[in-house]
Structure 1
Amino acid sequence: MKNASRIVTMLFGVLAALAGLEHGIGEALQGNVRPGGLMILSWPDSSFFAILGGEPAMTVVPNLLVSGILTILMSLVLLTWVVAFVHRRHGGWVLLAICAVLLLVGGGFGPPALGVIVGLAALRIHSSHAWAARAPRLRRLLASTWPWMLGCGVVAWLLLMPGMSLLAVSLGVDSAWLVTTTILCAFGTLLLSIFTGFARDARPRTPAATAAARLSRGLPRGTSSGHARASRSPASCTCRPRS
């Protein structure tokens, strides 16, 4: 199992699930009412979420109470999946499907977007990441920065929610520029956490694995593929005329 990639997908997947859960609670609390359209606000009358625009979302469900309940259920499914099952075969594809449903039932836009990026990363959990293994110095450099990128990413997402709302309520901070910058930092550090996590999980190919790969291609040990192709080409053969 790739430890760094698994930790990244689990941590950020949990954050996506908790953010989706918050959307669902806000929608359910609005009661048995019909939304005014496809676009809704999860917390339209809450001063705590005012700095985030009332937490916009979309829903295809014609009832906010039902939409909130479905969002809560899908968030719990997402939480369970990223903690226990995302590393399994096709786990990333299932995570992408969960995020698509979460988007449609009222889970906001940030949580599904975060979940989609995590799902795409989960598709590469079991990859050998040969690009990093071919450059040992670069791999070591990127791998050494992974804990810092991961920590900065988690802090950035927590600063976005609930950090922005806490700053607005306690200190009166109300800056659209600050919210935009925090969103960019959150997604940027997420991508860096994934990239450096892949580098940390990459392992250089051992001599035994190299020999096995050569044998699987029909090459003798210690023979390069280019030399083998040249030795099998007609131009390299010297044919004697038949007497």
Structure 2
Amino acid sequence: MPERINRHTRVTASILGVLLALGGMINHGLFEILQGNTPIQGFFIEAIGESHRFWRYGTEGAFTVIPNFLATGITAILVSLAVIVWSLKYLHTKHGAAVFLFLMVLLTLLLTNLTFIAAYARDLVTRQVE
């Protein structure tokens, strides 16, 4: 007998997946693409470049392993689109939750959105250098 999931739980998980993916797509993907084909120095980046900031501290710090702003932005948008599609169409399937978790980990760890951890690590490195 197939396992049944509460409809409200599925709708809530789908909405959260879409919202998180849109955040990754807009806050990181778009602003990283706007910085162009520029190499990244290190793993910690500021997703929003100086020319696109709305306020002084609106840098949207992030962690990435991809060494280029353009490639990082495109990858963030592609993975975000995959999360949106998976959240809306396939989350209720047999392996839907596992694939959803994999996509969210990919979006979080490999691309962007480790703002607090990356900022903390940057502060630790800065203290050691001083």
2:79 — aligned with what?
Answer: 74
- State yes or no: 1:88 paired with 2:83: no
Which of 20, 23, 27 in structure 2 is aligned with 1:19? 23
Residue 5 in structure 1 maps to residue 9 in structure 2 = yes
Q: Aligned Cα RMSD in Å?
A: 1.8
Q: Distance in 2 between matches of 1:44 and 1:56?
A: 10
In structure 2, do the counterparts of structure 1 residues 85 and 35 end up closer, same or farther at CA, with 3 Å as the change threshold? same
The CA distance in 2 between the partners of 1:61 and 1:42, in whole Å, is 13
Q: Secondary structure at the match of 1:11?
A: helix
**Identity in percent:** 36
Contact 2:46 2:62 in 1 (8 A): yes
Post-superposition offset of 1:103: 2.4
List per-residue Cα deviations over 1:167-187 (Å, max 9, x = no partner). Answer: xxxxxxxxxxxxxxxxxxxxx
State the aligned residue count.
109
Distance in 1, matches of 2:16 and 2:114, equals 15
Which entry has the higher C-alpha Rg, 1 or 2?
1
How has the CA–CA distance of structure 1 residues 14 and 50 changed in structure 2, closer, same or farther, with 3 Å as cutoff? farther
2-side partners of 1:5 and 1:65: how far apart?
36
Structure-1-length-normalised TM-score: 0.42
Please give the per-residue CA displacement for 1:143-199, whole angstroms capped at 9, x wherever unaligned. xxxxxxxxxxxxxxxxxxxxxxxxxxxxxxxxxxxxxxxxxxxxxxxxxxxxxxxxx
Would the aligned equivalents of 2:79 and 2:103 in 1 still touch at CA under 8 Å? yes
For residues 116-135 of structure 1, the C-alpha deviation after alignment (integer angstroms, 9 at most, x for no partner) is xxxxxxxxxxxxxxxxxxxx
What does 1:1-243 align with in structure 2 at a 5 Å threshold? Answer: 1-22=5-26, 23-45=28-50, 46-48=52-54, 50=56, 53-109=58-114
Q: Which runs of 5+ in 1 are unaligned?
A: 111-243
CA contact (8 A) 1:70 1:105 kept: no
Tell me by how many angstroms 1:96 deviates. 1.3
* Counterpart AA for 1:86: L
Deviations along 1:76-113, one digit per CA (max 9) or x if unpaired, are 00000001111111211111111222124433237xxx
| Structure 1 segments (4+ residues) deviating >6 Å | none
Shift of residue 14, structure 1, vs aligned partner: 0.8
Q: Is the 8 A contact 2:65 2:110 kept in 1?
A: yes
Distance in 2 (CA, whole Å) between partners of 1:85 and 1:50 is 40
Unaligned segments of structure 2, at least 5 residues: 116-130
Q: Is the 8 A contact 1:49 1:55 kept in 2?
A: no
Bigger RCO (CA 8 Å, 6+ sep): 2
* TM-score in terms of structure 2 length: 0.75
Partner-residue secondary structure (3-state), 1:40: strand
Instruction: Check whether the contact 1:103–1:109 (CA below 8 A) recurs between aligned residues.
Output: yes
